[in-house]
Amino acid sequence: MLSLESRKITPLYGLALRRTEAGDPESIYSYVLRLAFEHRVIPLALARTGLIAPQNNLRGELFMCRDGAALLGGSDFAMATCQSLSEATGVKDLHGGTLLPLRSIAASQQLLSRVDRVCLSCIREDVCANRKTFGRLLWRLHCVSCCPVHREQLVEVSTCPVAEPAPGKPVQIYGVCQRCASVGYECRPPAESASAEDVDTSAFCRDLLAVAADLPPDYAATAKRSLKEFSRNFVGGCAAIATGAAINKSLLSRFLNEPQARLQLSSLVNVAKVLNIGAVDLVRGNFAQASTAPSLHVDREKCPKRKIDHAELRAALSHALSDDSLTIAKLSKSLDVDRKLLRLANPDAYALIVQRNLERLDVTREEDWNSALRRAAAMLRRLREMGLKPNLRNASVLDSETWQPSNQHSKLLLALASPAHKGVATYWGFPARLFARIRHLVQHDALRTDGQELTIRHILGGPPRWRHNTRRNEEEAPAPQSA
C-alpha cells in the first residue's frame, strides 16, 4: 500500500477514463459528469470552482452548452480543459476522450452531433451488470447513427416522452433521464434496427477512435503521403477515388498536397470504403491490402428542394400584425423558413413586426431595471437604518431570497453603496438613463443631512417631491427688500 508521501495529492479524485471492450473511449463530457457525481456536486458547480475551467470560463457555460460539445472537438478550449483536468485529477491522457488526436486529419465541419445520443442496449447492459454507466465518444460523432455492437439506432436523450416530470432534479449522469429520472432510460421505447451500411460506418469510426490516442504526432503527413503514392497506381487515379467517395476532386487534391488541409470524417470513411481498407490502415498509411480499383461507389446525398408558398408567408405576416405575441423568430420556426424569405414576402409587415418587438423589449427592460432599482434602494435604506454594512451577504440575511452577484438588483445595490458609483455603473454596463437615476439617489443621500429628501418617485424619473425642513427653509429664505 502506497503511503501519502509517495502519492501526489490532487484536488479531485483521480478517476480513469473508461473504455469499452472494443477500445473506444469515454467522452470527456461523460468523464466530467462522473467526476461531479463522485464529488456529490452538480457539474456546473464543479466547473465554476476553477479547477477544470480554463481561460475565462469560470462560470462553466461552455461545459453545459450543447451537451458539452465544446469539450469534445479538436479546439484549443478542449485541449486546455484536458490539461486542467489532468492537473486537478493527476490522470494523464485525458485527451483520448476528445477528438484532439484526429484534428490534424479530420475537419471540424459536421464532426459532432447537435444533440446527445445513446445506445439504449449499451446503457441497460451496464445497469443490469451493476456497472457505472458512461457515454461513449462514438455516440457524439455526426456520421455515426447506430451502435456497431447491438446494430440499433442511437436515441436522443434531450427529450422525454413522459408527460409528468420527476418531483426533484435528477442526478446528471449518463443512464438517468433528466426529466422523469428513470434509470436506464426505461421511459423510451426500444430502438429501431440499423442498416448494414450504417453499422459499417459505426464500426469504422469505433476502430478509428480506439487507436487515435496512440497515433504518432506525424501520422497525418504519413497517411497523406502514402495515399498520394497509392493513387498513382489506382485505376482512374485521384479522380476515381474522389468520384467513388462522393467528394470533389479539388478537395481531395488539396487534402493530399497541403499539410494543413483536412477532410470531413464522413469523407474519410467513404475513401476507406472505396479502397476497401480499415480505419487503422488508413490513418497509418498502410495501403498494402487496398483495392487498386473502386470497390464501392458512394452516392452523394442530395438535399430535397422545398417549394415555398409566398402567399402563405404573406398571410402569416398579416396575421402576426394583429397578434402581439407573435415574433419573427416564432414565425420562422413555425413555418420552417428563413427570415430572409419572410422579409421578401412582405417587407412592410416584416419591418412593423420587428419595430413592435423592439419597442416591447425596451419597455420590458425598462420595467425590469425600475423594479430592480426600487428593490436595491429599499434594501440600502434598510441596511443603513439597521447600521449594517451594505453588501450582498447582509442583504441575503435580511431578504428571503439570496442576492447573487449576477442579479440586476445586486449590481444596483453595489453601485449605490459604493463611493465610486460611476465606475461601478460603467463596469456593469448600466444604461445612461439608469446612471442618471443612480446619481439622483446618491445626491439624495448626501442632502439628507442638510434637511432635504427626495422620494423614490424622483429617483425613478418622476417629478421631484421635496420634504422641506422648516429650519433650513428659514435660513435659505431671501431677505425682504427694503422700501
**Angle between the 408-417 and 347-385 helix axes, to the nearest 10 degrees?**
50
Contact between 264 and 106 (Cβ < 8 Å) = yes
Kindly state whether residue 460 falls inside one of the protein's structural domains: yes
Residue ranges for the chain with pLDDT beneath 70: 1-7, 53-66, 295-305, 442-483
Beta bridge partners of 112: 141
Q: Which residue range forms the structural domain that includes residue 321?
A: 310-361
Residues 321 and 263 in one domain: no
Report pLDDT for 139.
Answer: 94
**Structural domains of the chain, count:** 4
pTM metric for this prediction: 0.64
* CATH assignment of the domain containing 236: 1.10.260.40
Kindly state whether residue 477 falls inside one of the protein's structural domains: no
Other beta carbons within 10 angstroms of residue 353's beta carbon come to 21
Kindly state whether residue 462 falls inside one of the protein's structural domains: yes
Q: Terminus-to-terminus CA distance in the chain, angstroms?
A: 107
Other beta carbons within 10 angstroms of residue 49's beta carbon come to 15
Residue 135: all three cell numbers together? 457515454
Residues 88 and 102 in one domain: yes
DSSP secondary structure letters along 252-305: HHHHHH-TT--B-HHHHHHHHHHHT--HHHHHTT--TT--SS----PPPP-PPP
Phi, psi angles (nearest 5°) of residue 29:
-65, -45
Residues 353 and 248 in one domain: no
Distance of alpha carbon 360 from alpha carbon 328, whole angstroms: 14
Residues 135 and 76 in one domain: yes
Boundary (domain end) residue, out of 180, 214, 248:
214
Radius of gyration of the chain measured on its C-alpha atoms: 32
Residues 204 and 221 in one domain: no
Distance of alpha carbon 244 from alpha carbon 247, whole angstroms: 8
Residues 388 and 289 in one domain: no
Contact between 313 and 299 (Cβ < 8 Å) = no
Residue 470: all three cell numbers together? 422648516
Report pLDDT for 98.
Answer: 92
Residues 104 and 12 in one domain: yes
DSSP code of 5? Answer: G
Residues 136 and 61 in one domain: yes
Residues 70 and 180 in one domain: yes
Contact between 200 and 277 (Cβ < 8 Å) = no
Report pLDDT for 389.
Answer: 86
Q: Which of left, alpha, beta for 461 (phi over 0: left; psi -120 to 50: alpha)? A: left
Kindly state whether residue 428 falls inside one of the protein's structural domains: yes
Report pLDDT for 63.
Answer: 65
Residues 86 and 99 in one domain: yes
Boundary (domain end) residue, out of 162, 179, 214:
214
In this structure, the chain runs to a length of: 483
DSSP code of 118? Answer: E
Kindly state whether residue 384 falls inside one of the protein's structural domains: yes
Type of residue numbered 476: E
- Which sign does the torsion angle of CA 412, 414, 415, 416 carry? positive
Kindly state whether residue 196 falls inside one of the protein's structural domains: yes
Burial class (CB in 10 A: 0-12, 13-18, 19+), 10: middle
Report pLDDT for 456.
Answer: 35
Q: Which of left, alpha, beta for 68 (phi over 0: left; psi -120 to 50: alpha)? A: left
Contact between 244 and 118 (Cβ < 8 Å) = no
CB hemisphere CA count around 478 (13 angstroms): 3
Residues 221 and 186 in one domain: no
- Angle CA 129–130–136, to nearest 5: 80
Contact between 223 and 211 (Cβ < 8 Å) = no
Report pLDDT for 393.
Answer: 86
User: Which residues touch 369 (CB under 8 Å, ≥6 apart)?
Assistant: 408, 431, 434
Kindly state whether residue 2 falls inside one of the protein's structural domains: no
Q: Element (H or E) spanning 14, and its range?
A: none
Distance of alpha carbon 189 from alpha carbon 160, whole angstroms: 11
Residues 221 and 201 in one domain: no
Other beta carbons within 10 angstroms of residue 315's beta carbon come to 13
Boundary (domain end) residue, out of 300, 319, 335:
300
Kindly state whether residue 480 falls inside one of the protein's structural domains: no
